[in-house]
Amino acid sequence: MLYEDNGRLIYRYDSETVAIEPWGKDGLRVRAAKSSPMPDENWALLKPERICRAKIAFIDGISTIQNGKITALVNEDGRIAFLNEKGETLLEEYARNRKKYAYAPGVVQSQDFASALNIEARQFKPILGGGHSLVARFESDPNERIYGMGQYQQPFLNLKGCELELAQRNSQASVPFAYSSRGYGFLWNNPAIGRVAFARNMTIWASESAAAMDYWITAGDSPSEILGNYALAAGSAPMMPDWAMGFWQCKLRYQTQDELLDVAREYKRRGVPLSVIVIDFFHWTRQGEWKFDPIYWPDPKAMADELRAMGVELMVSVWPTVDHKSENYREMEEKGYLVQVDRGQRIAMTFHGNTIHFDPTNPEARAYVWSKLKSNYCKCGIKAFWLDEAEPEYEFYDFDAYRYYLGPNLKIGNIYPLMYAKMVSDGMKQEGRAETLSLVRCAWAGSQRYGALVWSGDVDSSFRSLRNQLAAGLNMGLSGIAWWTTDIGGFHGGNPDDPQFRECFVRWFQFGAFSPVMRLHGDREPHSAPLGSSGGGLCGSGAANEIWSYGEEVYEICVKFINIRVKLQPYIKEIMRQASKSGAPAMRTLFFEFPQDERCWEVEDQYMFGPDILVAPVLHEKIASRGVYLPTGSDWLDAWTGEEHPGGVVAVKETPISRIPLLIRKGSNVSLV
């Protein structure tokens, strides 16, 4: 049965109800449920600012609903197809059963067939005891290119042919928005643990536990238009604070207040611009107490004041873990502020204590933890937080073992990092602070609207890992997460005295200078011993990780690229204004800027930093030169030599250790040297 209900197109058969409604600019939201009322959670989506008026029609057994540039067609058996304004099929449900499917002639090209396979497009499998697991199947175009989906530690920019876990892990962020080269964007609006397969024969989205199927689809004529539609539907980043646009210094880990201040003073003495310095984990007494250990950090306010007088912002690490011995544990347990476990002990990690995470899906728990941050950090003048362990990280990723205020982990677990970032964003707004930026080690769809600066997690210190970060950063941008960064040099390992690592470090540093945020971090070798036997003294530290730690040659290269970053600050500010306004990423694939150039869809080792700077990072060791494809539609100037090149050609550029290929779109006002 097909009918209209309050501006929505409804299909109902047996226990299934499907609702299709206009949602935002050129977008449609599709929800389906079985044997229960339709859930009303919006998850990643924002309510549209204005009421969308859809055109609904019923013709010869075919029902249509149109919102701007996208139309859904539903036949009498409930199979759905989506068309653009030219009448071309963008996406259609997959079904192989005994029914014959045909859409109105001349409206959509679709096969008219009957099959004995008996495979449905929408599959709800009951979970004994309640709920359903869910599979949604769509037809696949083998030549389609798929981008976005957050970050996965792999070198593939084009995700066609990939199967991805829809789950959060350290260095993996599931942000289930996919951009298709066919001209649509697709949001799987479901925070459940699951998977997606962009296979040649079909596309499959699956959730292990879900009350309903829920997705949003939009159409547009360019990548920027589709990302803009998504930004309107799910939100965009606020304006990035000026202090975040320069160079950040960080390491695992500054052990004392004096050590951190000495590093900041040394940057000042050398005249090297420094925007942010970061205090890493275990500056606290115990996990879940969210305050400085006074033995090693005796006067945080004086420290923050001195840094601010030098023009340096202070950021502190916050973990969501709560030690069973924490002064707050018993109260948080009694009030239901901690993650529950469905079996075993209430322990999720054992790093320096038996710990469980607080539950940010509970609004009272968010308010409680924020009150601690406000009392122990904000009152010292600290307004920037590093929300680490935000997946959250578990010692064992048994997703079915944990339960939150909003439901079982299997059903809603991927939303944890969004709620974590929301805690700080809401708290800052309550304090009257317009600027909100939190460095977060994970994200979900919509995290961007809470000021989440996502970094790529604890990745390996190698060229192979560097190559993965390029793909991760570009796909994060196409997932709506415009603020992204990575640990320059990688996190795990790397000795500053090792010539091989120095080469990798330099190439990563150069890449970092043209990332949305330029942040140096890492756990370098060899380690130093812990300072004490309690509180902040329990953890040792990695080796020195300041730019002068790598020898004079590397130091001079680093200073050069930091100064380039400073010179670019007005340009970066404009990029961030665009990100806030339209959702355009700072790091952009070539095809985002030049969608009409077919070659730009094939190039995966270059990118645009904003609209005018083409970056060709060096991603392999001992490279003396590399080819750089220059998109059509513009002439290009070599940033180092001023040499001019036409678009549509491959230019071979030398790559001495002191520079990477950088080309400027001719006619822009950008200058790097």
- Position 479 scores a pLDDT of 98
Question: Poorest-confidence range of 117-121, 138-142, 445-449?
Answer: 117-121
- Position 99 scores a pLDDT of 66
Cα–Cα distances in angstroms (integers) from residue 509 to residues 96, 564, 580, in the given order: 51, 12, 26
- Position 111 scores a pLDDT of 54
Query: Is pLDDT of 198 > 60?
Result: yes
- Position 337 scores a pLDDT of 98
- Residue 101's pLDDT band (cuts 50, 70, 90): low
Q: Which CATH architecture has domain 2-234?
A: Sandwich (2.60)
Using a pLDDT cut of 70, give the percent of the chain over it: 97
Per-domain residue ranges of the chain: 2-234, 242-582, 589-665
What average pLDDT does range 236-261 have in this prediction?
98
- Position 108 scores a pLDDT of 47
Per-residue tokens: 534? 């309690």
Residues with a known catalytic role: 388, 391, 458
Q: Which helix (H) or strand (E) holds 569?
A: helix 569-582
- Residue 128's pLDDT band (cuts 50, 70, 90): confident
- Position 97 scores a pLDDT of 81
What average pLDDT does range 319-327 have in this prediction?
98
Q: Which helix (H) or strand (E) holds 20?
A: strand 16-22
Name the average pLDDT for the chain.
95
Domains 242-582 and 589-665 in one fold: no
Give φ, ψ of 285 to 5 degrees.
-75, -60
Q: Name the DSSP class of 301.
A: H
Nearest to 639 by CA among 666, 604, 607: 666
N- to C-terminal Cα distance for the chain? 67
Q: pTM higher than 0.95 for the full model?
A: yes
Domain 242-582 has CATH 1.10.260.40: no
What average pLDDT does range 204-227 have in this prediction?
97
- Position 435 scores a pLDDT of 82
What average pLDDT does range 530-537 have in this prediction?
93
Burial call 126-142: b when 16+ CB within 10 Å, e when fewer: eeeeebbbbbbbbbbbe
- Position 106 scores a pLDDT of 47
Nearest to 485 by CA among 459, 458, 453, 462: 453
Using a pLDDT cut of 90, give the percent of the chain over it: 92
**Per-residue pLDDT tens digits for 607-647:** 999 999 999 999 999 999 999 999 999 999 999 999 999 99
**Per-residue pLDDT tens digits for 493-530:** 999 999 999 999 999 999 999 999 999 999 999 999 99
- Residue 100's pLDDT band (cuts 50, 70, 90): low
Domain 589-665 has CATH 3.40.228.10: no
- What's the CA gap between 609 and 122, in Å, rounded? 40
- Residue 112's pLDDT band (cuts 50, 70, 90): low
- What's the CA gap between 297 and 304, in Å, rounded? 11
- Position 484 scores a pLDDT of 98
Query: Is pLDDT of 649 > 90?
Result: yes
Q: Map residue 665 onto helix, strand or coil.
A: strand
The answer to whether 437 and 241 are in contact (CB under 8 A) is: yes
Per-residue tokens: 39? 């859930």
What average pLDDT does range 300-317 have in this prediction?
98
- What's the CA gap between 146 and 201, in Å, rounded? 14
- Residue 105's pLDDT band (cuts 50, 70, 90): very low
Query: Is pLDDT of 239 > 90?
Result: yes
- Residue 36's pLDDT band (cuts 50, 70, 90): confident
Query: Is pLDDT of 57 > 60?
Result: yes
